[in-house]
Amino acid sequence: MTKLPNTPTFAFNLLQQMGTKGQNIFFSPYSIKACMALLYEGARGATEAQMASVFGFSDRFTEGGKLHQELLALKAAKGSSLALRIANSIWLDQKTALCPEYVEVVRGHYQAKVEQADFRNAAEEARRAINAWVAEETLGKIRDILPPGSTSTYSGQSAVFGRARWSWRCGAPGMSLWPP
């Protein structure tokens, strides 16, 4: 499995900046890296260098794609009981010109949806469309990935729903829950 350099550190730093002490928060290092990789594919210059530094990207057009392909291989493994749904997408304002090569890479390497919406004049409708798509892709397990008022001129999503048999079940005899 591909190592996620710098991504867990980024997630913990983000959590600390959010000031969520005492609240239950869940971060998916895969989702953070996948979302940023979708944006990285279109970045150039200083933005590209900064993203590479923060997320440990080293090879354009393959970073997130390799990880995504490995997750799909894990799901498809013979005898796997893993139920895995991955919904990666990038939604850009309808006035944003998209490079055909970018769209091809994002759809091909990431199997991600690339959409355009009217974020400037119909942001709420765009938000509802994104939430509906994520809910459909995750079999209704993730319904409101974007709360009201959370959209701007672009939006990237990476939603992962997984269900599998655990090697060690929480609450099983002889196991204790952490923290006590």
pLDDT level of residue 80 (50, 70, 90 thresholds): low
For the chain, the first-to-last Cα distance in angstroms comes to 31
Best CA proximity match to 112, nearest among 59, 40, 25, 7 = 40
Question: What does the pLDDT look like over 89-105, one tens digit per residue?
Answer: 989 899 989 999 999 98
Instruction: Calculate helix-pair angle for 63-76, 29-40, nearest 10 degrees.
Output: 140
Domain ranges of the chain: 7-16+25-162
Classify domain 7-16+25-162 at the CATH superfamily level.
Answer: Antithrombin, subunit I, domain 2 (3.30.497.10)
Is the pLDDT reported for residue 131 higher than 80? Answer: yes
Q: pTM here?
A: 0.71
Distance CA 148, CA 100 (A): 31
C-alpha distances in Å from residue 94, one per residue of 66, 114, 148, 154, 174: 29, 11, 20, 10, 56
- pLDDT digit string (tens) for 36-50? 888 888 888 999 899
